[in-house]
A = this chain, B = another copy of it.
Amino acid sequence: MRENRNNDEIRKVIITNDYLMHPDGSVLIEMGNTKVICTAMVENKVPHFLKGSGRGWVTAEYSMLPGSTNSRKIRGVSKGKLDGRSMEIQRLIGRSMRSVVDLEKLGEHTIWIDCDVIQADGGTRTAAITGAYVAMIMAMKVLVEAGQIPEVPVKGYVAAISVGKVGDLILMDLQYSEDSSAIVDMNVIMTDQGQFIEIQGTGEERPFSKKELDEMLTLAEKGIRELIEMQRKIIEG
């Protein structure tokens, strides 16, 4: 049915660790033609509302390069504001990371996650989450090595995948040509325990049934387990 892969198959994933020289954590994640640079940089202070609390913070920003899409993506700074879609996505990335971080144990540090899409072919937000997790852990390891925190303060792994209904088929990891004709589009973020951190499902062309939802969630779990396996290999070295 699909070009080169089965309906329940994720695209070829390559996670290049230590991609840049300056950030504490940096990866290039490629899922098929989708390519996202994810970096994690530590700042030794926290937002105003956490000062003196002993707790840390993780925040994320997401952006697409102008040349990452087919028709040139106008920069946020040129429009004078972040577009709504990017804001939604960066809030989602931040929540996803924080959901597995023990902010108490992080101490009063802020981890800035930046996800910059170099090339977009569908699934940039889920690729960003999967890559950002690796970059974040690498930055935390630097903090541990520097003796600033005793251990990497996370409760588990987190990865994300998109699934959807295209025509009559439930498809894994939609590329752009599929995503743009999807009837239902769903992003699932999950832990290594198979539990949901966030699910967002939208009936793009028509509403969807409980049965369809269940099928999509089952498929998503399969993909996420595979992604977490890849994360584990890099992180555990």
The stretch that binds B, out of A8-16, A193-201, A229-237, is: A193-201
The stretch that binds B, out of A76-84, A145-153, A166-174, is: A76-84
- Fill in one digit per residue for A163-193: 1 if any B CB lies within 8 Å of its CB, else 0: 0000000000000000000000000001101
- Judge whether B203 and A197 touch: CB under 8 Å: yes
Q: Is the C-beta of A72 less than 8 angstroms from some C-beta in chain B?
A: yes
Chain A binding surface, main DSSP class: mixed
Contacts of A203 in B (CB 8 A): 99, 195-198
- Judge whether B202 and A95 touch: CB under 8 Å: yes
- Judge whether A67 and B195 touch: CB under 8 Å: no
Point out the residue from B37, B67, B81 that lies within 8 Å of A39, measured CB to CB. Answer: B67
Q: Is the C-beta of A20 less than 8 angstroms from some C-beta in chain B?
A: yes
Contacts of A206 in B (CB 8 A): 195
Q: Is the C-beta of A18 less than 8 angstroms from some C-beta in chain B?
A: no
- Fill in one digit per residue for A87-126: 1 if any B CB lies within 8 Å of its CB, else 0: 1101100010001000000000000101010111100000
CB distance from A147 to the nearest CB of B (A): 21
- Judge whether A196 and B191 touch: CB under 8 Å: no
Point out the residue from B23, B67, B114 that lies within 8 Å of A114, measured CB to CB. Answer: B67
* Alpha-carbon gap, A85 to B91, bound state (A): 9
6 more CB-based (< 8 A) A-B contacts, given A61-B78, A199-B199: A22-B69, A23-B67, A41-B67, A81-B81, A81-B82, A84-B91
Cβ contacts A to B, 9 pairs, < 8 Å: A21-B119, A75-B77, A84-B91, A88-B88, A99-B207, A195-B207, A196-B209, A198-B202, A199-B213
Residues of A within 8 A of B (CB): 20-23, 26, 33, 37, 39, 41, 43, 61, 63, 65-72, 75-78, 80-82, 84-85, 87-88, 90-91, 95, 99, 112, 114, 116, 118-121, 190-191, 193, 195-203, 206-210, 213, 217
